């Protein structure tokens, strides 16, 4: 058992939820039971986290953004806490969203995807 695995077990034994992200920004571990719903991005292999510093706030330089590597788009930005990295709902434009969209929702999804792609890099 590695040091990290031991720490994860200790935190879970203490009743704390654990989120682990590797050096490539991939979500590698989430405490069982956190958002195992199919409408969340947690289990998607195309979810990644990238740096998202706020150019106007010098004290918030370690923010992260959740990105979709299939669509090359930002799902959610300004994530500070590990708990925020597991509460990410699939956007309407997600190819794996398990629901049908109305015509109006389709239109909104296309507009939002265009905006989210512009924020990717």
pTM exceeding the 0.85 threshold for the entire prediction = no
Give the least confident one: 23-37, 65-79, 90-104.
Answer: 23-37
Greater confidence (33 vs 25) lies with 25
Q: Does the structure show a pLDDT above 70 at 78?
A: yes
Per the DSSP assignment, residues forming a β-bridge with 47 are 68
pLDDT for residue 70 = 92
Distance CA 37, CA 82 (A): 18
CA-closest candidate to residue 84, choices 105, 62, 115, 69: 62
């Amino acid at each position: 058992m590695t040091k990290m695995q031991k720490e994860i077990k200790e935190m879970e034994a203490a009743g704390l939820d654990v989120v682990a992200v590797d050096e490539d920004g991939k979500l590698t571990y989430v405490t069982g039971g956190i958002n195992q719903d199919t409408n969340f991005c947690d289990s998607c292999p195309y979810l990644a986290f990238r740096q998202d510093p706020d150019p106007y706030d010098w004290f918030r330089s370690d923010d992260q953004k959740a990105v979709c590597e299939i669509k090359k788009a930002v799902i959610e930005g300004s994530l500070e806490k590990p708990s925020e990295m597991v509460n990410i709902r699939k956007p309407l434009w997600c190819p794996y969203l398990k629901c049908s969209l109305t015509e109006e929702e389709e239109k909104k999804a296309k507009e939002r995807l265009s905006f989210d792609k512009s924020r990717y890099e």
